[in-house]
Amino acid sequence: MTPAARRDALKGLVSAPGITFATPPILISPAPYFDLAGEQFGARMILTQGTDGTEFCLRPDFTLPIAMDHISSGAATPAAYGYLGPVFRQRAEGPAEFVQGGMELLALPDAGAALDRIIAFARAVLDLYGVVTPHMRVGDIDLFETLLAACDMPEVWRPRIRARFGHPEAMAALLDRLASPHGAPEGPAGMKLDDIIDWVGELMLSNGLSLTESRSPEEIARRYVEKQALEAAHVPAPTIALLRDYLAISGPAAEALAAIDRLARASALDLGDALAKAETRVAALQTGLAAGSLVFDAGFSPRLDYYTGLTFEVTGRRGEVLVSGGQYDRLLRRLGAARDIPAVGCAVWAERLDEEVAR
């Protein structure tokens, strides 16, 4: 089958009966990406401006514009969307255009059935491109969040640790910092907030700084008070060791999940249904995709905090990601929906799959 014929067949998969074929604009607002994906992803976007100064980006993915359009038509309305077209991202050698296809299932009432449908779609794509026994990496965000909620630590640190999940270097740096003795914070310790605001304002004026052109004295003071609270909130050493041990677990799925169970039991933590659900989801993925190898990586997650539950990626012979997917029940609420909405999706990189066939 020629690449063009495979592309036509892929379009057939993403526009089959019961699936709405989505065609979001190529020029879209970058604001949601900066809000949800942060500066690191933002640095990979290709930005431009209209004649009136309005900022746009070339579409870096399909998931966010599809989710925003879905909210406008009713966030809780069950829907299946397919797509196939160009996305644009910066890379080391310059701006690039890639062809991405995929499926997004939003607000379906049976989350398990929705995941099975996404797995079946991924398997159909791999069959189309002749990837018979794929290599896979899998993670489970619910499992980490359950462990984090059960750990002994001040509440102020839980969201900060969660925000670094999926960022190995940032997580390691934070755990190193938490493991080090805290020095006494500099500045007016013990002062009330209003007094700290006055103190910051006086310092700014005495150093020739404007009180209005940059961060205000109140913003600086509130950040200082927050920092004091963090410095005073010690995370116990056993908790830091537990998090390090958990994040280091990676290997064949059955062995890795058993290691997580042993670690939790040794720490007298109850992972509740989260571990059983992770085992069920991983088994469905391994069976449905007929994985040649499947590694469960306890620290694996997209660098986006709206993901929940299972995440996975299929890699080629040279390690390139060919297919990736996961559950992202928090996305629609982060975009304006009144509550979390069940959502699961899968993206495929058509040109990488073509290259995999050529090898």
CATH number at residue 284: 3.30.930.10
Residues 103 and 44 in one domain: yes
Decide if 165 contacts 299 (C-beta within 8 A): yes
The reply to whether 139 and 277 lie within a common domain is yes
On whether residue 158 sits in a domain, the answer given is: yes
pLDDT score, position 225: 61
What's the average pLDDT block by block, 10 residues per block, for the chain (359 residues)? 92 97 95 78 85 92 95 93 96 84 96 94 95 92 96 89 90 89 51 65 60 69 65 84 97 96 95 93 91 92 86 91 94 92 96 87
Looking at the structure, do residues 29 and 66 belong to the same domain, yes or no? Answer: yes
186 domain residue, yes or no: no
Asked if residue 285 belongs to a domain, the reply is yes
> 95 and 150 share a domain?
no
d(CA 313, CA 223): 38
- Residue that is written with structure tokens 């990586």 in the block: 297
pLDDT reported for residue 139: 96
Please check whether residues 20 and 111 belong to one and the same domain.
yes
pLDDT at 186: 47
pLDDT at residue number 352: 93
Same structural domain, 16 and 123: yes
In a domain, 333, yes or no: no
Residues 22 and 89 occupy one common structural domain: yes
Looking at the domain assignment, is residue 332 inside a domain? Answer: no
Residue 153 and residue 292 share a domain: yes
Residue 78 identity: P
Give the residue numbers spanning the domain of 214: 193-232
How many domains does the structure of the chain reveal? 3
- φ, ψ for residue 223, nearest 5 deg: -65, -40
Same domain, 169 and 306: yes
Residue 284 makes CB contacts below 8 A (sequence gap 6+) with 112, 115, 116, 119
Q: Are 294 and 131 in contact (CB under 8 A)?
A: no
109 with 199, same domain: the answer is no
Same domain, 170 and 154: yes
Structure tokens at 194: 């209003």
- The reply to whether 167 and 288 lie within a common domain is yes
